[in-house]
Amino acid sequence: MTIDARLAELIPNLPETLFQAARYALLSPGKRFRARLTLSCCKSFGAPESLALDPACALEIVHTYSLIHDDLPCMDNDDFRRGQPSLHKVYGDAIALLTGDFLLTYAFEILGQVPTFSAEQKLSLVQTLAKAAGAQGMLGGQVLDMESTGRRIGAEALLTMHRGKTAALFSAALQFGRIAADAPPSFSSALQALGDDVGLAFQFLDDLQDEDDLAKEKPNALALFGKEGTLQRLLELKHSIERALQKLPSQGAPIALLLKETLWMQF
C-alpha cells in the first residue's frame, strides 16, 4: 500500500467538517519526503517497508499540521499551499487551527495502535515524535523563526533555528525507520546526525528557491551567506551525508537513492 492510500484510510471520509478539512489538507499533492525517508530507512536495515507505513504516515500527519498552522494569518499568512488555497482560506481560521490540533493528537493515537509493534517500540516512537515536534524541535525552531523576522541573525542562530524547525522531523523520520525495523539503538546517534544534515540541506535548497522569505524579511541562508556561500555549504552537507550513510547497513542504499531522486536533483 502507498503512503497516500494509507493516509486516505486513516482519516475517515465522513461529512463532519473536521474530517473533511483534515482530508483537504492532508491528501493534497505533496512530496511525502519525510514519510518516504522513514520507509527507506526501514528498508536499509533489511526490514520490509510495510512495517514502517503507519509511523511514516503519522510523521506526514504531523508535518501537515505544522503547515496548516504556519499558513495562518497570525503566523506566515500564506494564502496558498501545494497549489491550492490554504486550509484557513477555505474553512476559516478557527477550523484550520482545530484541524491542525486534531492531526497532531491523532498522530500519537496512530503510533499507539500499530498492532505489529511491541510496547517498547510504541513508546520509543511516541517519545521520538514528541521531542522532535516540541520545544526542543519543530516548535522551538518556529518560535526562533518568528522572533527573528525583520532582524539580522548570525550563522549559529540560523542553524539552530533550522535544526529545530526543519531538521528535527527528518531525524525523527530516520529514527522511526530504525524503530520499525527493530534495529539496534546503537545506530541512533548516526541517524540523528544524518537527519540533521539532510534537514539543513533541504532547508538551504528551499532558501535558494524561495524569494518570499526575503520579501518578508525572514532569516534564511541566502540572506546570510549569499548564493555562492549557500551552495558551498550545501556541497559540504552532501559530503557529510555521504559519509554518514557509509555507517549504515548496506551503506544506506535505499536512503541514498531517495536523496538522489529528491534532494540532490535540485542541487
Number of structural domains found in the chain: 1
In a domain, 32, yes or no: yes
- What is the Cα–Cα distance from 215 to 122, expressed in whole angstroms? 43
DSSP H or E stretch at residue 65: helix 53-71
Residue 125 to residue 92: CA distance in whole angstroms = 32
Would residue 150 count as lying in a domain? yes
User: Is 267 a member of any domain?
Assistant: no
Residue 214 in this model has a pLDDT that exceeds 80: no
Q: For residue 266, is it within any domain?
A: no
pTM above 0.75, yes or no: yes
Is residue 265 in a domain? no
Residues 221-238 have a mean pLDDT of 94
Residue 10 pLDDT greater than 90, yes or no: yes
The band of 105, judged by pLDDT with boundaries at 50, 70 and 90, is: very high
Domain span at residue 208 reads: 3-260
Classify residue 241: in a domain, yes or no.
yes
Report the distance separating Cα 200 and Cα 82, nearest Å.
21
**Which CATH number covers residue 17?**
1.10.600.10
Does 35 map to a domain? yes
- Separation of alpha carbons 124 and 175, rounded Å: 9
Q: Quick one: 135 exposed, middle or buried, by C-beta within 10 A (0-12, 13-18, 19+)? A: exposed
